[in-house]
Amino acid sequence: MQKYIIERDIPGVDKLNGQELKGAAQTSNAALAQVGADRVRWVESFVTPDKTFCVYEAVDEEAIREHARLSGFPANKITPVGGMISPATAG
């Protein structure tokens, strides 16, 4: 599967409390189950002011778009990851 970064514009997402974030994760997981683990997987997400940046693995961008439609969470920008770099890369 290809790794992707998904940028989601969600006004106020950084103001959600723990219970609200739990509900959002449950909604996302339900949509993932519908799309199928063989097509798309959620790795992690980062919450920033009015946006989330999500790391997904998917067979293609259409699987991510299907998850977005089912979950109701926008996928404003989908970017395939071409490689990774970290502090360990220098060593």
CATH code of residue 44: 3.30.70.3090
Q: Is residue 28 part of a domain?
A: yes
Domain of 42? 2-83
The stretch 40-68 carries a mean pLDDT of: 97
Token pair for 58: 């998917």
Task: Answer yes or no: is pLDDT of 15 > 90.
Answer: yes
Token pair for 21: 């974030």
79 contacts: CB under 8 Å, gap ≥ 6: 4, 5, 6, 7
Q: Is residue 89 part of a domain?
A: no
Q: Is residue 90 part of a domain?
A: no
Mean of all residue pLDDT scores within the chain: 96
The stretch 62-66 carries a mean pLDDT of: 97
CA distance 17 to 24: 11
Note whether 6 and 77 are within 8 A (CB): yes
Number of domains in the chain: 1
Token pair for 80: 């395939």
Q: Work out the percent of the chain whose per-residue pLDDT is above 90.
A: 99
Residue type, 75: A
Q: Is residue 25 part of a domain?
A: yes
Q: Is residue 47 part of a domain?
A: yes
Q: Is residue 72 part of a domain?
A: yes
Q: Is residue 45 part of a domain?
A: yes
Q: Output the pTM of the full model.
A: 0.90
Helices (H), the chain: 18-35, 61-71
